[in-house]
Chain A
Amino acid sequence: MSRARLSQWWFVGTLAAALLLMLVPLPGVLEPFKPYWPALVLLYWALEAEDRVSLGLAFGVGLLADLLDGVLLGEQALRLCALVFITVRFRSRLRFFPMWQQALAVLALLLNDRFLLLLVRMLAGASLPPASWWISPFVGAALWPFLFLLLDDLRARLRIQ
């Protein structure tokens, strides 16, 4: 029973850590390289434990992220919903991809996410972001194998599901 509770805490903890990491700034030059952590962690959980990750959860996490960070309420809720929906839809295929293909799929998902964000910001009346703004999805995709292995390894060590 406590194993289940531990696993629940681990799940919530990783999401909270992702939200916190999203808020932590990087030093000036590295700023555009910051990946979108909540998306990566939600992706991991959507692939590994689909019974936990639903659209409602993605929406909730997105709203929380908007409350903490966000420019517009509902912006990240929209993005994370779209991301989780696509991931869950193609989950069975994504899971059996070799790691490099999975990283490419993650890149596509994150780029799609950036397009959504761009669309929302444009409609809200913001100006075009600088070119360096597009680096982040690539960093996210490059980090994906390491994040995936790290989270998987930690999960195996803690013997939780």
Chain B
Amino acid sequence: MARAREGSSPLFAGNAAGTLRLIVYLALAVVLMVLDQRNGWLWQLRSAASAVVEPVYRLAGLPAAGVHTLGVAFADRQLLTSQNQRLREDLLLANAKLNRMAAVAEQNERLRRLLDTQHSLKLNVQLARVIGVDLGAYRYELTLNMGSRDGVEPGQPVIDAHGVMGQVKAVLPHTAVVMLITDPSHAIPVTIARTGLRTVAYGSRDGDQLSLPNLPLAADVRAGDKLLTSGIGGRFPPGFPVGRIDSVAPAPTGMFQVALATPAADLDRSTDVLLLHDQAEPKGPPDLPVPAGPPQVLAPAASASVAAPAVRPGQAGGVPR
């Protein structure tokens, strides 16, 4: 070992050259961070190096997968049997419900077609598997085993059997990173199922709850209310369960009520998730139907000249539901 070298590691003195190099490296790192924050280089670099990065992710995901496999391999036979039985019952129940729903869905579809709206109850989904990789963002991200080669795009909603989990944030050729709805920088438009009140649910700082910080003081919100996606904003399709309200309290400012909600989806237990393919609405609210009434030629000339610039059928913003 190079122990004999004198003066390479002085006991007390600091050398200026070392400090200078530190400063250069720190400055370089800061410049990189600022540029990356502006341009998103990290993900470009990751996709460029995906041939190296993705196998490493798969390798790092092996222990989690192994633990899961071991759990299945050493599970009690009785446990598996009871689990199987329960799943069978669930499937039976779900099928029965579906059969009844099919008729309702068909009727709904017909009525909606009559109303000329674009929403449909059809789901176009893709099954993906969660890779157990920790990408250093506390617990606000999931990694999936599908990427741009499988048709996954940033912005796609991700759901599981119980509700909305989040949306795809970035994709590599065979890997996608999902931002969970509990991420503090994530917001999802919701309605309260009981009252129809529209609001926005943000992720909370603790990482496993949702917070609804701006409910009007007069709004009727109670613990136990269910939250559904409202479909406003066009990112998440309407009608999916998001969570259930745990508590409501006045905000410290006294201007609003603040509610905390638990996500409906199993954010930290799901191993299989669904990627939704059709975006709910292309952009914004639906077009206004052409107003029925007397043709414009028959309308009084004065009112037509006032109304014409204000409302052009088919282009003006519609009334949110």
B294 within 8 A of A: no
- Say yes or no: A77-B32 contact (C-beta < 8 A), given A23-B56, A88-B9, A130-B205: yes
Residues A89 and B29 in contact, CB atoms below 8 Å apart: no
- Say yes or no: A161-B1 contact (C-beta < 8 A), given A73-B42, A92-B11: yes
A153 within 8 A of B: no
Over the window 179-207 of chain B, the binary record of Cβ atoms lying under 8 Å from chain A Cβ atoms (1 yes, 0 no) is: 00000110000000000000000000111
CB distance from B281 to the nearest CB of A (A): 29
- Say yes or no: A73-B32 contact (C-beta < 8 A), given A20-B60, A55-B21: yes
Task: Summarize A's interface: helix, strand, loop or mixed.
Answer: helix
Select the residue from A56, A92, A125 with max chain B CB neighbours within 10 A: A92
- Say yes or no: A55-B9 contact (C-beta < 8 A), given A71-B136, A74-B33: no
A residues 42-95 in Cβ contact with B at 8 Å: 49-51, 55-56, 58-59, 62, 66-75, 77-78, 81-82, 85, 88-89, 91-93
Residues A25 and B45 in contact, CB atoms below 8 Å apart: no
Select the residue from A22, A26, A67 with max chain B CB neighbours within 10 A: A67
CB distance from A27 to the nearest CB of B (A): 8
Residues A51 and B57 in contact, CB atoms below 8 Å apart: no
Contacts of A133 in B (CB 8 A): 138
CB distance from B113 to the nearest CB of A (A): 45
Residues A73 and B45 in contact, CB atoms below 8 Å apart: yes
* Total interface residues in chain B, CB < 8 Å: 49
Residue of B nearest to A58 (CB): B25
Contacts of B36 in A (CB 8 A): 72-74
Contacts of B134 in A (CB 8 A): 22-26, 31, 34, 69
A139 within 8 A of B: no
Q: How many inter-chain residue pairs (CB < 8 Å) link A and B?
A: 126
A2 within 8 A of B: no
Give A81 to B26 CA distance when docked, in angstroms: 7
Give A70 to B133 CA distance when docked, in angstroms: 12
Contacts of A130 in B (CB 8 A): 138, 205-207
Residue of B nearest to A133 (CB): B138
Contacting A59 at CB < 8 Å: which of B29, B133, B139?
A: B29
Over the window 17-45 of chain B, the binary record of Cβ atoms lying under 8 Å from chain A Cβ atoms (1 yes, 0 no) is: 01001100110111111011100011001
Residues A62 and B29 in contact, CB atoms below 8 Å apart: yes
Give A82 to B2 CA distance when docked, in angstroms: 24
A1 within 8 A of B: no
B101 within 8 A of A: no
A residues 1-32 in Cβ contact with B at 8 Å: 20, 22-28, 31
Contacting A24 at CB < 8 Å: which of B18, B29, B41, B60?
A: B60
Give A93 to B45 CA distance when docked, in angstroms: 40
Contacting B22 at CB < 8 Å: which of A20, A68, A70, A81?
A: A81
CB distance from B137 to the nearest CB of A (A): 6
B53 within 8 A of A: yes
What are 10 contact pairs spanning A and B, CB under 8 A?
A20-B59, A24-B134, A55-B21, A55-B25, A59-B29, A67-B53, A69-B134, A71-B135, A77-B29, A127-B184
B interface with A by C-beta (< 8 Å): 1-2, 5, 8-11, 14, 18, 21-22, 25-26, 28-33, 35-37, 41-42, 45-46, 49, 53, 56-57, 59-60, 63-64, 67, 132-139, 184-185, 205-207, 268
Shortest beta-carbon contacts, A-B, top 6? A74-B32, A23-B60, A78-B29, A73-B36, A25-B134, A74-B33
Extra contacts besides A71-B136, A92-B11 (13): CB < 8 Å: A23-B56, A23-B60, A23-B133, A24-B132, A34-B134, A50-B9, A59-B25, A66-B42, A73-B42, A78-B26, A82-B26, A85-B22, A130-B138
